[in-house]
Amino acid sequence: MASITRQPNGRRTVQFVAGDGKRKSIRLGKVSQRVAEAVKIRVEQLNAAAIAGHAIDDETARWVAGLDSKLADMLAAVGLIPKRGRATLGALLDRYFDVRADVKPDTLIVWGHTRRNLLQFFGTDKPLREITQGDAVEWRLFLDNQQNLAEPTIRKRCGFAKQFFNFAVKHKLIPVNPLADLKSASQSNPSRYYFITQEEAYKVLDACPDAQWRLTFALSRYGGLRCPSEHLKLRWGDVDWERGRITVTSPKTEHHPGGASRVIPLFPELRPYLEEAWEQAEPGTEYILTRRRNANANLRTQLLRIIRRAGLTPWPKLFQNLRSTRQTELEETFPSHVVCAWIGNSELIARKHYLQVTDDHYQLAVGDVAGADSKALQKAVQQPHETGSNGSQAGSDAHRKAPVLQGFAASCDGMQNHPVEDRGLEPLTFWLPARRSPN
């Protein structure tokens, strides 16, 4: 049994007889009788377990895990619990990255940015238990004021940091997560949206140095693929020339049910660049893109040079906005669930991070208000802007003047001389002409 003694100055001490028969004391200082009683009960349980040689119960184990360093050190000094090592931030991050070998290398690279920011602010040897909620707030301000990161990036890194500290909580290195209150929900940033028009896309394609770069750009702008992960996985065996379809392997979504791959149309705008690459491919070539196959290749820097060579100002989020543009474009013609299946995201994510309001939407609205021929204007909006070509690159004028979004319907040439019946027009039907493989 343990007992509580109180000194005249109000300081309380818990005393007990250990297994070796010696009386030992735990000086609590100026605490209330209620606090002293709570400690006394736990001391009795710990002492009984030590004498009997059995493990402590779960409730007591949780209490020990939540102790502050001072009381834990006093209990360790009298032999009731093992001496607690001072877990540091650097040790936590090293352990977390070692344990999470299950994630993809690219994920570790992204996490590494947050790791670097934490160590920059707190230092490698910072004890985890000394990091407070106030410190967490100051770290977030550090990301904003000194690292000059955008708000969505800050939120993302706060989310990763909370993930690291939750790992420490689960392993009883700290009682609570000091970063738990930091805002980390993903947030869209419309100011970084940019719609790449057909004219701009053609200028970039004309400025590309070779067929491989033209196809890389076209796969993002017209296929809506994630670059570079989905580009590098494409094989010639994934292209069904006759049915007009491409199977896209998606490393990012493969852990979701049914997310390992998706099938997209061989869009008419994409086809000429794919055919050009096919004609230049060596016999027996497996992968469609044979150059720059390193996933860490700096495609962004190279694309920046190409865009400037085309006489354009680089837009934010170079490859993300190519996907966003394509999804916005396709949504004008096809049901949202169909477009999302092709792009490889959900309707919720599309509305939050992909779909844009374009100049054409404003022109259509103004045309209606002004009493213009809205049907003619709407038709113009849904057709691509036509542009010429210098003839030196893939994608001739014949390809470029073909309707972009209406290219899935049968050729309109045969319809122009046939009047529309009173029953009206049938809904637009997706169709691609049968075609044999170029070989």
Q: Tens of pLDDT along 188-200?
A: 778 889 999 999 9
Give 10-residue mean pLDDT values along the chain (439 residues): 88 92 92 92 92 87 81 89 82 93 86 96 93 96 94 92 93 88 78 92 97 96 94 95 95 81 95 96 93 77 96 95 94 93 85 80 72 48 44 44 42 44 44 43
Q: Which two tokens stand for residue 189?
A: 């940033």
Angle of CA points 327, 332, 335, to nearest 5° = 80
Residue pair 242/434 in contact (Cβ under 8 Å)? The answer is yes
Of the candidate CATH numbers 1.10.1040.10, 3.40.1640.10, 1.20.1290.10, 1.10.443.10, the domain formed by 197-382 belongs to 1.10.443.10
The pLDDT value recorded for residue 368 is 55
- Which amino acid is residue 405, in one-letter code? L
Dump the DSSP string for 196-255: --HHHHHHHHHH-SSHHHHHHHHHHHTT---TTHHHHH-BGGGEETTTTEEEEE-TTTTT
Residue the block writes with tokens 């100049």: 359
- Kindly report, as residue ranges, where domains of CATH 1.10.443.10 are found in the chain: 197-382
Residue the block writes with tokens 């939540």: 66
Which 8-state DSSP code applies to residue 127?
A: B
The pLDDT value recorded for residue 157 is 95
Contacts of 35 (CB under 8 A, 6+ apart): 28
- Kindly report, as residue ranges, where domains of CATH 1.10.150.130 are found in the chain: 89-187
The pLDDT value recorded for residue 85 is 67
For residue range 170-224, what is the model confidence (pLDDT) as tens digits? 887 888 899 999 988 766 778 889 999 999 999 999 999 999 999 999 999 999 9
Q: How far apart are CA 229 and CA 295, in angstroms?
A: 7
The pLDDT value recorded for residue 403 is 41
Q: How far apart are CA 36 and CA 324, in angstroms?
A: 62
Of the candidate CATH numbers 1.10.150.130, 3.30.1600.10, 3.30.70.1400, 1.10.150.110, the domain formed by 89-187 belongs to 1.10.150.130
Q: How far apart are CA 210 and CA 212, in angstroms?
A: 5
